[in-house]
Amino acid sequence: MPTAISDRPTLESLTSTFPLTFPTPTPTTHPDLVSTKDLHREEDLLRNPFSFRHWWTAIQNVKETAAAEQKAEGPSDLPPEVAALLGPLSSPAARKSFQRQVYLYEAALSQFPASFKLWKSYLQTRMSFVLGKLVMKKKAGGRKKFPEMREALEEEKEDLEQWEGGLDGVVGWEEWRLLIATFERALMWLPRMPRIWLLYLSIFNHPFCPPQVSHTHARRTFDRALRTLPPSLHARIWTRYLLWAEAKGGATTVAVYRRYLAVDPSVTERYTAILLSPSNPEPRPLEAAKLLLALARKAARGEYTSPEGKSPYQLLTEFLEVVEQYAEEVGMDVPDTIDSNARIAKAAEEEAATQQSVEPASVDGKLIRFAGPAVSASDGKLVAPYDEDEDPRSKRKLNVEDIVRKDGLEVYKDQAGRLWTGLATYWIKRGEFDRAKHTFERGLASVLTIRDFTQIFDAYAEFSESLISAMMESLANPDEDEDEEDVKETEKELDAKMKEFEELMDRRPFLVNDVLLRRNPNDVQEWEKRVALWGDNDEKVAETYSQALATVNPRRATANFHRLYINFAKFYEEGGTRGEAEPDLDSARKILDKATKVNFKSVDELAEVWCEWAEMEIRNENYDEAIRVMQRAAAIPKNTKVNYFDHTLPVQARLFKSLKLWSFYVDLEESLGTVESTKAVYDKILDLRIANAQIIVNYASFLEENKYYEESFKVYERGTELFTYPVSFEIWNIYLAKFVKRYGGSKIERTRDLFEQALDKCPPKHSKPIFLMYATFEEEHGLAKRAMSIYDRATNAVADEDKFELFTIYIAKAAENYGLPATRPIYERALEILPDKQTAEMCLRFAAMERKLGEIDRARAIYAHASQFCDPRVNPKFWQEWNNFEIETGSEDTFREMLRIKRSVQAQFNTEASYLAAQMAAKQNGQETEAEAPPADPMAAAERQATGGGGKAPAFVSAKQNTNVRVEEAEERQAAPQGNEEEIHISDDEV
């Protein structure tokens, strides 16, 4: 009994079925191609062999019939795996339909060999039977007409044809070969049709494409398409060509991409990604690195723009990442790198030595070149000379150190940290740890920012820690073949590495300081920090001070550059930082003497150096030497007409006008010198016209202490001549007080002259204290009448804000000397002069004085006069006092008059601004107004206020009272009983 396995067809039996269409099937070779039903069609085609419509209709009818037969056909009897090998030709009906359609297409093409429509339909039909069913993809949106190659590759990769099923390339090799032959025949007739070329090229991406045609034949077909089609259509071919090359990989990808990059370098980044792809069995890191280096250089020159929007620095970073990852394959080793660096340095020296300045010359208006090597040009632009580092075909490895220096550190100085760490990582990957350490040290010694320093230092520390950890692990787990000597050597090396790591950590503050000083060598504060870092190391401290003074530019130094000289001198004076050495005053003097010759930014810095020098001599009890130092510093040149603020002159030429220097000098003379020497210094200060008010006061006080009273008064007078108000006011104030205290009433006329001189040009805002002092002097030592006249003058001369106070004092003095009635004219004059706000207060005092004298009518008139300045809502105190006055001394008529005046004034102030001001004043004083119905009888209201009716203090007239007097009178007239309407009213004026 046969088994199931023996029923399965063999490979030979399957391949023997093919070819189905060679030779071309005809009714003579295949009688079953034409049935009796097809005779009418055949006769029609024989009658009309040149009618394309008849042929096309016949072909479409055959296709429809074949499709119907295949649907009606039941499932295949073949096993699924056999059916999968045969694909669309697995059933006999499909094979017969294929032969019929081929027969008709071949017959039609014999009549119309140049018909594109017929050839395209024929090729698609054969492809459907060989390649399988084409999967149609849904597309969203349109495509760009002329996209960039990068975008075109992405879109084409998504739109690449896919098939379901298909004839196996081994079983159906003959049909695959015939399909290719058919494409070749079509291209023989229609070589310029890009659609036929694209259909032809699409079969090479089929998964069942036989290897005999999917490699070399496919590559040659792509090349033929590029040679045949015009350049405007090459982009459509190249997209499929590049995608096919990517799928094949290996040398094919490299060869195809190199050809395309010669035309369009925009896909270089995609190519480098393919070369380094993890799926690439043969990565080419050297070629990728050279391509990325070339792109980074072109982008830096502005000759290349990345399609992915990458900057030149990003391209260089990608190159550096490739170098780090494939250090052995890309870069040179240490000896080759050293030799290459030496050759590059030598070439640079020779170029610098032979370089000559070429002067332009012209012949007939055109410039010609006299010397120099020939330079190639393209389209009017200079072409960069050949560089083997940018040639991807060259096998020479790269000098990574030179590339990072030229293309990285010299161009991207703000990214030095990343570049140095990348270079060090490259050496670490190669196992060159000493070279990596040397690279880290060079980076730390050259960066200019803390960010770059931190990046390099952290990487350096991490490298050292990993190295120590690896050595400790090797000691913990030694190999069997290691002997004791190897272990001891490893332990010794580990101790050395740990010591180096500790030294690195200790050096960090110094390295940070180095970075800041490289960024700004004129930073005085950083030099001071540098000195502090050395601590008790006197030798390094002195060396640092010397280096700082030699490095810093005085005109560009930061603040307090002179402190470096002063601190350096103190270092020698105190015998080092710890004071263990002997003080070296000679060295300190030399340093300070050198400092006095430095052209500092300001005169004050030089003056402070001289002052510190003198203080140093005083601390060491060399008093005469301190005086001599200050004499040297304060030497006055012959030409004293020098502008102290002229910065074009050196500070030494302007030093003699430094008030700081002279102040210290005069203090020194007061302490150590004689009276005459001190007076001489003060006089020089005054002669140079650099004195301030404090110098004048100090000079006068010094003379007064030494019993030179008249000379001190002369100094005061000299000061008043030198300065104007307000400075002169302070001097006059002290001078007059001293003079009065000294002489009292013995020199009255002279004192009066001094007061008059002080008041002569005194501005009003400063004259009040002098007037008061003058009047006090007259009261104590002169005449009371003269004192009253001074007060009277003062009320006119002082500022407005001081007049009220002066009038108050004037009135008090007048009442004391002449009695209360004598104050009436002063009050009246005050009411004329004082501003409105102060007039009301003065009126209250005036009225109180008149009440004391029993002049009730005069007091009432004063209240009435003051009422025009007092808004009832803002100044309730005034109206309350007048109210109390009327209750105590007035009558009903006078009280009515007071209320009428109050309403009139309130109406006068009844504006929005005054209303808001009243509300603010009420809030500040904590007062609240309540609206109450006005009583009918004003006297009843007065009694109610006096008795505190309602549990409240006496209040004003209710706010509901109409403040408009005219409106209120009109209302009263309307409320009054009407008399005779025809009565004639005659006023008093008419009578």
CB atoms within 10 A of CB 330: 23
Would you state the structure tokens that stand for residue 272, as one six-digit string?
């480098």
DSSP letter, residue 91:
S
More confident residue, 792 or 85: 85
Model confidence, pTM: 0.70
Would you state the structure tokens that stand for residue 627, as one six-digit string?
């005086």
* Residue 740: Cβ-neighbour burial (10 angstroms; 0-12, 13-18, 19+): buried
Q: Could you tell me whether strands 366-368 and 361-363 are parallel, antiparallel, or unpaired per DSSP bridges? A: antiparallel
Q: DSSP 3-state assignment of 770?
A: helix
Looking at residue 920, what is its pLDDT? 65
Question: The tokens 């001070």 sit on which residue?
Answer: 545
226 band by pLDDT with thresholds 50, 70 and 90: very high
Question: The tokens 């170029």 sit on which residue?
Answer: 351
Give the C-alpha separation, 570 to 563, whole Å: 10
Phi, psi of 389 (to 5 degrees): -70, -20
Q: DSSP 3-state assignment of 307?
A: coil
914 band by pLDDT with thresholds 50, 70 and 90: low
- On the question of pLDDT at 982 being above 70, the answer is no
With beta carbons less than 8 A apart as the criterion, state whether 655 and 629 touch: no
With beta carbons less than 8 A apart as the criterion, state whether 901 and 890 touch: no
Residue 164's beta-bridge partner residues? 133
Average pLDDT over residues 424-439: 93
With beta carbons less than 8 A apart as the criterion, state whether 673 and 628 touch: no
pLDDT in tens, 933-961: 444 455 555 455 544 444 433 333 333 34
More confident residue, 760 or 77: 760
With beta carbons less than 8 A apart as the criterion, state whether 899 and 938 touch: yes
- On the question of pLDDT at 460 being above 50, the answer is yes
Average pLDDT over residues 674-687: 87
| Most confidently predicted of 74-88, 605-619, 702-716, 805-819 | 605-619
Say whether the peptide bond before residue 726 is cis (omega within 30 degrees of 0): yes
At 807, the amino acid letter reads: F
Looking at residue 87, what is its pLDDT? 83
**Alpha helices (H) in 819-911, listed in sequence order:** 824-833, 836-852, 856-867, 876-889, 892-908
Out of 365-379, 421-435, 534-548, 925-939, pick the least confident. Answer: 925-939
For the chain, first and last CA: distance in Å? 166
Average pLDDT over residues 241-258: 91
Would you state the structure tokens that stand for residue 747, as one six-digit string?
């020199």
pLDDT in tens, 723-781: 777 777 788 888 788 887 887 777 778 877 887 877 887 887 888 887 878 787 777 77
978 band by pLDDT with thresholds 50, 70 and 90: very low
Average pLDDT over residues 478-494: 77
256 band by pLDDT with thresholds 50, 70 and 90: very high
* Residue 80: Cβ-neighbour burial (10 angstroms; 0-12, 13-18, 19+): exposed
Give the C-alpha separation, 233 to 230, whole Å: 6
pLDDT in tens, 339-353: 999 999 998 888 877
Looking at residue 382, what is its pLDDT? 59
991 band by pLDDT with thresholds 50, 70 and 90: very low
- On the question of pLDDT at 119 being above 90, the answer is yes
What percentage of the chain exceeds 70 in pLDDT?
A: 86
Phi, psi of 690 (to 5 degrees): -115, 5
Looking at residue 840, what is its pLDDT? 74
Looking at residue 181, what is its pLDDT? 94
With beta carbons less than 8 A apart as the criterion, state whether 127 and 164 touch: no
Give the C-alpha separation, 580 to 81, whole Å: 101
Looking at residue 990, what is its pLDDT? 37
Out of 215-224, 421-430, 675-684, 802-811, pick the least confident. Answer: 802-811
Give the C-alpha separation, 985 to 398, whole Å: 126
- On the question of pLDDT at 321 being above 80, the answer is yes
- On the question of pLDDT at 789 being above 70, the answer is yes
Residues 220-225: contacts with CB under 8 Å, at least 24 apart:
225/197, 225/200, 225/201
CA distances from 291 to 133, 267, 304, 409 (A): 42, 11, 13, 20
- On the question of pLDDT at 932 being above 50, the answer is no
Average pLDDT over residues 460-482: 84
Looking at residue 931, what is its pLDDT? 37
More confident residue, 13 or 175: 175
pLDDT in tens, 627-657: 999 889 888 888 888 888 888 888 888 888 8
More confident residue, 313 or 149: 313
Out of 248-257, 523-532, 962-971, pick the least confident. Answer: 962-971
Phi, psi of 398 (to 5 degrees): -100, 145
- On the question of pLDDT at 146 being above 70, the answer is no
Would you state the structure tokens that stand for residue 623, as one six-digit string?
């008093």
Average pLDDT over residues 838-851: 76
Average pLDDT over residues 219-246: 93
At 487, the amino acid letter reads: V
Mean pLDDT for the chain overall: 81
pLDDT in tens, 88-118: 888 888 888 899 899 999 999 999 999 999 9
pLDDT in tens, 167-220: 888 888 999 999 999 999 999 999 999 999 999 999 999 888 998 898 999 999
- On the question of pLDDT at 975 being above 50, the answer is no
Give the C-alpha separation, 479 to 501, whole Å: 26
Looking at residue 74, what is its pLDDT? 67
Number of Cα atoms under 13 Å in the Cβ half of residue 266: 13
Looking at residue 989, what is its pLDDT? 40
Looking at residue 809, what is its pLDDT? 81
- On the question of pLDDT at 973 being above 70, the answer is no
pLDDT in tens, 393-413: 889 999 999 999 999 999 999
- Determine which helix (DSSP H) or strand (DSSP E) holds 349, and give its type and residue range: helix 334-354
479 band by pLDDT with thresholds 50, 70 and 90: low
